[in-house]
Structure 1
């Protein structure tokens, strides 16, 4: 079967590997890959900037797949089902997993990151990580994992219709967070430095407003207040992974507000403690997502509550990845979500 291997930073190889032929173990399914979404993790791995990463590696964790066979004991999917893949595997039932936090277990292994993923024609997987839909296409199913990161952040913040929400970072994660915050009934505004991304959010994601970052935090705060009738937002979701942006969230959040950090900064950062105490803020991290998030997203797309049409801006054949990947690193390419098609 055709398989794409990232041998080292900057070097993809399209190769032939052995198709899974041995018998399925209890609880497993054999799937055929139809779509693979490209995410920030893949881009960072390609450039050699992904932490906790080893080479060679088969990437791919945003997947739309078809079930070809199921083993004894599988009841959640059947042959022929179209599925999204939940890529957060837990090798042990550690304390977090026992408490339901499968997104952040101590021994978590993310498919396509910590272990070989879905950039291949077929693979076996524990069927518990498959989420089926009777009506969604493979493009939509491959977007579910992307959307789940923002969905989980919004769920972490317990966003409701009484809230006002500022999302920082107009990438796919931030855009997803906007969609779920709006679906919860909250007025939602996107903040970013990139004017074209903000325009995209207004036109296609249909956010309630946008704010372009100024070099002076006080100017940015003023612009934020203008979007919220003179007030600051009750919830701020930062999807940048930038330590300066993360530190500024305390200034941009209303008293008794909640801050959720989705983006990961691989180091230390500091914040102005008087903001934290004076405003009695709550700061939360958000990592990966939960099985319930996948089910929620699939249902919301099926019901028309979430529109996936604007997301896929670039689509190529699976085997043409090496010819296009470098261009996707350039902002002028305008990539929101690139998709590989098998």
Structure 2
């Protein structure tokens, strides 16, 4: 089977590997679609803190069942998506229902080989039959669920002022679900094309270009009170630190981004606001179901998927996704 391996940062190679054997309790999948995530781009550029090379990337996937355990409820040919966070089910986080931050988590495409391949065998409990959405949509559930999870954790509600810093796919996912909660959303980013997309396709209330005078603009939009909830989706330490200044008194700051660095902030500024600071990692089944319900209701813009390529073309075309001029929002690999 064709498999694309990231051997070292910047080096992708197409290999012919044997089809994996299906272990007991696993489902053999024929991979059909794989969404390209910021994590994959970070792996390619060497900026993913939880990874060892070589690695088969890809954790946003949909496919069809080739074989499944008896009694699983899955049949050959069923369309499925995969929960890519393989949790242990036993640790302190799993026992509390927080499988997204399992102590022993194994994320497909990060801790273990992922979906840039033709066949994949996955434990049954992480494979979910999906109806009422396309293969393309099913491959985009995961990144949208990350945004839905962050919004759910934040408690964002109708009428609140929300700022999302970083208008990549994860940031856009947070914008979508904050708006579905009735919040008033402002997007902050350095790229005019991304901001235009947020205004045109996501219908955010405001967009502000990062740069000189941006804080004054944000102050004006909020009557100098700033934002009830700020989400950081930049993956940039300096941006993450700056975000503390943009949270209203009594507000909440949610770090969706993860970076291999220490983040510092002014304790007096933090305390005088009685700010709530939280991280948001991955997503849970509840968040995946929230996304699927929104998709079936037609509430997710169909314009998010902007680029696609065949699996065989990944070694030569993948680096093009890093070019801002390409205007990539979400790329999908067809297997």
Q: TM-score band, normalised by the shorter chain?
A: over 0.9
Q: Please give the alpha-carbon distance, in whole angstroms, between the structure 2 residues aligned to 1:13 and 1:213.
A: 37
Q: Please give the alpha-carbon distance, in whole angstroms, between the structure 2 residues aligned to 1:225 and 1:252.
A: 9
Distance apart, 1:252 and its partner CA: 0.9
2:288 corresponds in structure 1 to 294
| Alignment check: 8 A CA contact 1:234 1:254 kept | yes
Question: 1:1-342, aligned counterparts within 5 Å?
Answer: 1-22=1-22, 24-26=23-25, 28-75=26-73, 77-91=74-88, 93-215=90-212, 219-307=213-301, 309-342=302-335
In the TM superposition, structure 1's runs of 4+ consecutive aligned residues that sit over 4 Å from their partners are: none
Structure 1 unaligned residues grouped into runs of 5+: none
- Aligned positions, number: 335
| Alignment check: 8 A CA contact 2:63 2:135 kept | yes
Q: Please give the alpha-carbon distance, in whole angstroms, between the structure 1 residues aligned to 2:184 and 2:62.
A: 32
Distance apart, 1:52 and its partner CA: 2.5
Which is worse superposed, 81-90 or 109-118? Answer: 81-90
Is the partner of 1:234 in helix, strand or coil?
strand
Which is worse superposed, 262-271 or 240-249? Answer: 240-249
Distance apart, 1:101 and its partner CA: 0.8
| Alignment check: 8 A CA contact 2:232 2:255 kept | yes
| Alignment check: 8 A CA contact 1:92 1:107 kept | no
Q: Please give the alpha-carbon distance, in whole angstroms, between the structure 1 residues aligned to 2:241 and 2:257.
A: 13
Superposed CA offset, 1:145-187 (max 9, x none)? 1111111110110111132111000111101100000011111
| Alignment check: 8 A CA contact 1:20 1:124 kept | yes
Is the partner of 1:149 in helix, strand or coil?
helix
Which is worse superposed, 206-215 or 289-298? Answer: 206-215
Q: Please give the alpha-carbon distance, in whole angstroms, between the structure 2 residues aligned to 1:78 and 1:152.
A: 30
TM-score, structure 1 normalization: 0.93
Distance apart, 1:276 and its partner CA: 1.0
Q: Please give the alpha-carbon distance, in whole angstroms, between the structure 2 residues aligned to 1:221 and 1:274.
A: 20
> CA RMSD of the aligned region, Å?
1.6
Q: Please give the alpha-carbon distance, in whole angstroms, between the structure 1 residues aligned to 2:60 and 2:304.
A: 13
